[in-house]
Amino acid sequence: MLQACLNGSRAKDFHSFTPLTPAELAADAAAVVAAGAGELHLHPRDADGAETLAAGEVAAALEAIRARVPGTPIGLSTHAGIAGDRLDSVRSWKVVPDYVSVNLIEDDAPQMIELAMSRGIGVEAGLWSVADAERFVKLPQARQALRILIEINEQDIGEGLEVAARIRKVLAAASLDVPVLEHGLDATVWPLYRDALLRGLDGRIGLEDGKLLPGGEEAADNAALIKAALLLARMPPNLPPEAAPSIAG
């Protein structure tokens, strides 16, 4: 499965095509799904462009996207940098996403996981480190997770791959039988995507994680990143990511 991460905490000054409003998110969702993405991950925004989990803004984003790509699973971030009482916000939702991502580095991760599952919302468990993985596998809800995210923030490629390997070792020892998605950030986007491909794991690509194509040039938009990822998936496994042809548009 290839997930498109549409915006994250990025703003227009990162990339002019970063989608923020419900209309922009819906149009971008349609473009990445047409390009081959199987699922969506996004961070709803308020009128000022700030990340929010408020019920009205969440509903507006979800309804706009579902009108354009009905049936495509949509996930939202619940990270601690979002203003307001995040647990109360999730409790107030009238329109709910298919899943949420929850970072195990955050103190209230167990409560957020329990709340989401109680509302019938799937949970992607975000693991940034071995400590996160060890914390997650001990949770009573661990085997009920929709997916585990191995999320590499390290910018040194070798270090990032090593952290991912150590997280996978913890997960293997726990025998959870939960799908795993592995992704990088900025400098490690494509090395971690290639590593995920080689290991048969799910992947994630989009402006939240980085704006460069495998060859190093800036992508036109999220759809171009998804096209590049799918092209890379069809390349021989021993070919370096930078050898992928450029994707225009």
CA distance 85 to 53: 9
Tell me the C-alpha to C-alpha distance, in Å, between residue 99 and each of 140, 148, 238. 18, 12, 34
Which of 196, 200, 178 has its CA nearest to residue 188?
Answer: 196
Q: What is the pLDDT of residues 144-159, one digit of tens each?
A: 999 999 999 999 999 9
Q: What are phi and psi of 204, to 5 degrees?
A: -145, 135
SS3 state of residue 39:
strand
Query: What pLDDT is attached to residue 235?
Result: 77
Q: In the chain, what is the straight-line distance between the N-terminal and C-terminal CA atoms, in Å?
A: 22
CB atoms within 10 A of CB 177: 7
Query: What pLDDT is attached to residue 249?
Result: 41
Q: What is the radius of gyration, based on Cα positions, of the chain?
A: 17
Angle at which helices 157-174 and 130-137 pack, to 10 degrees?
20
**What is the pTM assigned to this prediction?**
0.92
Torsion of CA 97, 181, 70, 116, to 10 degrees: -20
Tokens linked to 28: 């971008």
SS3 state of residue 248:
coil
Which of 148, 146, 154, 122 has its CA nearest to residue 135?
Answer: 148
Which segments of the chain have a pLDDT < 50?
Answer: 247-249
Tokens linked to 38: 């199987």
Query: What pLDDT is attached to residue 248?
Result: 43
CA distance 146 to 68: 24
Enumerate domains of the chain plus CATH numbers: 2-243 (3.20.20.70)
Query: What pLDDT is attached to residue 83?
Result: 87
Q: What is the pLDDT of residues 56-80, one digit of tens each?
A: 999 999 999 999 999 999 999 999 9
Cβ atoms 202, 4 nearer than 8 A: no
Which of 140, 98, 105 has its CA nearest to residue 123?
Answer: 98
Q: Residue 136: which residues within 8 A CB-CB, separation 6 or more?
A: 104, 125, 127, 142, 148
Which of 217, 188, 218 has its CA nearest to residue 203?
Answer: 188
CA distance 102 to 110: 9
CA distance 45 to 187: 26
Amino acid (one-letter) located at 89: S
Query: What pLDDT is attached to residue 242?
Result: 54
Cβ atoms 132, 109 nearer than 8 A: no
Query: What pLDDT is attached to residue 238?
Result: 61
